[in-house]
């Protein structure tokens, strides 16, 4: 069996970035323990975080602290977010941008050597398919990125004739109690997957997940699919276990590493596809130096991406992490 450690980036629609990614690292059960052990050592070496379990490797926060001059934690709205930010800022005071770049390359190289595929569904939130969606742009963007990710995982599992268990950050406490208490088929109804503040990400993901499993459980029988693909039977998840394993990402180093890989991939895509001059010299430095140390991944399909074109057709691309930057140009 394979464990698929998942996360997403770009779901904050107030950000300027048009890209939303949902993806995960696909790890055979036999590799989990040694992988976690070595990842802890890599993090300790380059990010100076000797005990990763004391603080979550939240990449967007680390990125802001290292790449934004005079980044202030006081701008955080919630008290616990400010406290976490201050704690992380103190822990990273001796970490440089070059340390971060070295960590990125070391991590990519190690995942390549361990043959850990990264599978990612990528959407541009401004594409017509999302802006014209029957519910709204946010629901469509989240739904399609997750749908493509499920499609990629299922294709991989079909080639291995294996089952996959998704491991995701536990978001169930973010669902309003009056909705969380409903039976599943009512919980993921159209009217519940959106709120006055936008999409309820957690319920959108559940809706897509069980739509993909509808061949087995009929939980969404009669619902209008929120992320339809051109070919109906292609959209069925046949090798994924229909019970997500929820975990606190603070306690799961592999979920944190998945978050890191997705965040870095999004930044590379943003830089490669920007029509404007990116002002942050360190960010350009990061993008230019990613994969500079890679020697062993020329022939591996280590990264698999999917996107949707204007006709609802899923397009897939497999490449090696050696071509990490090149594949980002394909996302346009």
Q: Please say whether the beta carbons of 255 and 51 come within 8 A.
A: no
What is the structure's pLDDT at 327?
56
Residues recorded for the chain: 332
Q: Note the pLDDT of residue 267.
A: 85
pLDDT of residue 296: 40
Q: Provide the 10 A C-beta neighbour count for residue 224.
A: 10
pLDDT at res. 297? 40
pLDDT at 54: 65
pLDDT tens string, the chain, 332 residues long: the values are 999 999 999 888 777 788 999 999 999 999 999 999 999 999 989 988 776 666 677 888 888 888 887 788 877 767 777 888 888 888 888 888 889 888 988 898 888 889 898 899 988 898 888 888 889 999 999 999 999 999 999 999 999 999 999 999 887 777 888 898 998 888 989 889 987 777 889 999 999 998 998 888 776 666 788 998 878 888 899 999 998 999 888 788 999 999 999 998 888 888 777 765 555 677 777 777 765 544 444 445 566 777 666 555 556 666 555 555 555 555 55
The answer to whether 139 and 194 have CB atoms below 8 angstroms apart is: yes
What is the CA angle 234-299-37, rounded to 5? 85
Q: Domain locations in the chain?
A: 2-329
Q: What tokens were used for 232?
A: 């109906």
Rg (CA), the chain: 19
Using CB atoms within 10 A of its CB, is residue 77 exposed (0-12), middle (13-18) or buried (19+)? exposed
Whole-model pTM: value is: 0.88
């Amino acid at each position: 069996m394979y464990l698929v450690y998942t996360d997403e980036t770009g779901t904050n629609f107030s950000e300027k970035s048009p890209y939303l990614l949902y993806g995960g690292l696909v790890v055979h059960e036999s590799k989990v323990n040694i992988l976690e052990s070595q990842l802890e050592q890599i993090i300790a070496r380059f990010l100076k975080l000797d005990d990763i379990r004391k603080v979550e490797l939240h990449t967007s926060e680390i990125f802001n602290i290292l790449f934004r001059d005079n980044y202030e934690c006081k701008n955080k709205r919630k008290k616990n977010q400010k406290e976490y930010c201050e704690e992380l800022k103190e822990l990273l005071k001796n970490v440089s941008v070059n340390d971060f770049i070295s960590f990125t390359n070391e991590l990519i190289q190690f995942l390549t050597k361990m043959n850990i595929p990264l599978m990612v569904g990528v959407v541009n939130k401004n594409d017509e398919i999302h802006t014209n969606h029957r519910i709204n742009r946010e629901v469509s963007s989240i739904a399609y990125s997750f749908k493509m990710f499920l499609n990629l995982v299922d294709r991989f599992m079909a080639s291995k004739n294996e089952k996959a268990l998704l491991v995701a950050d536990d978001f169930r406490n973010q669902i309003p109690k009056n909705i969380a208490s409903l039976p599943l088929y009512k919980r993921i109804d159209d009217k519940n997957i959106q709120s006055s503040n936008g999409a309820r990400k957690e319920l959108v993901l559940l809706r897509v997940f069980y739509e993909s499993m509808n061949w087995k459980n009929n939980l969404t029988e009669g619902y209008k699919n929120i992320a339809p693909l051109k070919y109906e039977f292609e959209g069925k998840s046949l090798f994924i276990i229909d019970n997500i394993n929820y975990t606190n990402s603070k306690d799961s180093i592999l979920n944190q590493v998945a978050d890191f890989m997705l965040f870095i991939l999004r930044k590379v895509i943003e830089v490669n596809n920007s029509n404007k001059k990116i002002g942050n010299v360190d960010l350009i430095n990061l993008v230019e130096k990613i994969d500079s140390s890679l020697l062993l991944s020329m022939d591996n399909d280590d990264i698999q991406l999917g996107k949707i074109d204007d006709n609802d057709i899923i397009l897939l691309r497999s490449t090696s992490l050696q071509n990490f930057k090149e594949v980002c140009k394909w996302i346009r």
